């Protein structure tokens, strides 16, 4: 069995996360028992939700245990199998964590899933045709539920979730407007993803300024908002929301270091009879087959062209993760291990 390099959570962050919160170790991979599969990871997913799990406090997910492998999505290849449904060479997606190999109990529901790389590259099963894509699908289809001609705004629009939200909205005849950081990301959102407009939040120092830009981009107001960041962007969107607007609350990256996130205009929830719903996509496994089918078609036909930021080697994972939290990534953040 191969030696396995792993990244553990060594200690919990005090405020902002740093590279010193992680520890790299090398261990022996245990021999397989009946029903188990050995997977060599090709790519590791880095996602903002991981920052919340590093804290000890109450959240929607159990805290990441100390001195254990950082949890996270992986795609890779079966190299040895003692399970009848899996054979060496099968490409699979799972939650193998921040390590080069994982031993998986393949009978556990949801532990491992075969993927088809004929039309969809393996890495996209961690992004557009994986958890981020299904997150986008659920928030848009089940919460925002846009009608043709309505306007949907999404923050972090160039990222793995945001990019899929806009493409899915366009497929339903809605107007898609992104909020992203920097001219390159905004150009990608409009030129490659086909959004109707994109506002660069870095050009605005406060919510009122950003709200004026949103007024230009959304002349008929905002009917649906997919929330990934919180803070100033949420305040600006609230000022442009129409009556009966819906907000799908997916992430609040502005507060992942523990700071409070004040809301400037909560009275608008009542004034506009708004519906705001937070959700965790792992609690809605029933939609995954339908969502993955639509997302796979969009990627396979070139209607959704995901961007990826790829760090090289397991050692690069902590810094790539910290960069993700500061918006340094362009598209889905991955670590390439093979």
Read off the pLDDT of residues 194-213 as tens digits, 9 standing for 90 and up: 999 999 999 999 999 999 99
Q: What percent of the chain has pLDDT over 90?
A: 91
Taking the C-alpha atoms of residue 195 and residue 102, their distance in angstroms, rounded to an integer, is 39
Backbone angles phi and psi of 87, in degrees to 5: -130, 150
pLDDT of residue 69: 98
Tokens of 139: 């928030």
Return the closest-CA partner of residue 159 out of 180, 138, 144.
180
pLDDT tens digit sequence for 82-140: 999 999 999 999 999 999 999 999 999 889 999 999 989 999 999 999 999 999 999 99
- Residue corresponding to tokens 């990534």: 329
CATH class as words, domain 131-282: alpha beta
User: Given pLDDT bands bounded at 50, 70 and 90, which one contains residue 225?
Assistant: very high
**Residue 81 pLDDT > 80:** yes
**Residue 257 pLDDT > 90:** no
Tokens of 102: 């994982």
Backbone angles phi and psi of 263, in degrees to 5: -115, 120
How many other CB atoms are there within 10 angstroms of residue 246's CB atom? 23
Tokens of 13: 């962050």
**pTM for the model:** 0.92
Domain boundaries, given as residue ranges, for the chain: 3-127+306-336, 131-282
User: Given pLDDT bands bounded at 50, 70 and 90, which one contains residue 233?
Assistant: very high
CATH code for the part of the protein at 3-127+306-336: 3.90.180.10
Q: How far is CA 12 from CA 52, 81, 97, in A?
A: 11, 36, 18
């Amino acid at each position: 069995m191969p030696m396995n390099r792993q990244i553990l959570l060594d200690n919990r962050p005090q405020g902002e996360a740093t590279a010193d919160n992680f520890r790299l170790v090398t261990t022996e991979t245990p021999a397989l028992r009946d029903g188990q599969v050995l997977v060599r990871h090709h790519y590791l997913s880095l996602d903002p939700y991981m920052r919340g799990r590093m804290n000890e406090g109450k959240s929607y997910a159990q805290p990441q245990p100390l001195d254990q492998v950082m949890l996270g999505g992986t795609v890779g290849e079966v190299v040895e199998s003692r399970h009848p449904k899996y054979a060496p060479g099968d490409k699979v997606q799972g939650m193998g964590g921040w390590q080069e190999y994982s031993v998986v109990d393949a009978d556990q529901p949801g532990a491992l899933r075969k993927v088809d790389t004929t039309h969809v590259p393996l890495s996209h099963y961690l992004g557009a045709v994986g958890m981020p894509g299904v997150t986008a699908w659920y928030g848009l289809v089940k919460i925002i539920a846009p009608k043709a001609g309505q306007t949907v705004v999404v923050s972090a629009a160039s990222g793995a979730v945001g990019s899929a939200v806009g493409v899915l909205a366009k497929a339903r005849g809605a107007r898609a407007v992104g909020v992203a950081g920097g001219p390159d990301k905004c150009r990608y959102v409009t030129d490659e993803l086909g959004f109707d407009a994109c506002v660069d939040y870095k050009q605005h120092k406060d919510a009122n300024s950003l709200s004026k830009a949103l007024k230009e981009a959304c002349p008929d107001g905002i009917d649906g908002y997919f929330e990934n960041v919180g803070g100033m962007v949420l305040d600006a969107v609230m000022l442009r929301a129409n009556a009966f607007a819906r907000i799908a609350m997916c992430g609040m990256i502005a507060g992942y270091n523990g700071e409070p996130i004040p809301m400037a205009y909560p009275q608008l929830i009542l004034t506009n009879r708004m519906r705001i719903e937070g959700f965790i996509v792992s609690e809605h496994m029933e939609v995954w087959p339908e969502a993955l089918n639509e997302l796979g078609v969009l990627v396979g036909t070139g209607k959704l062209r995901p961007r990826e930021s790829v760090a090289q080697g397991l050692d690069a994972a902590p810094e790539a993760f910290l960069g993700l939290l500061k918006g340094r990534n362009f598209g889905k953040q991955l670590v390439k291990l093979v």
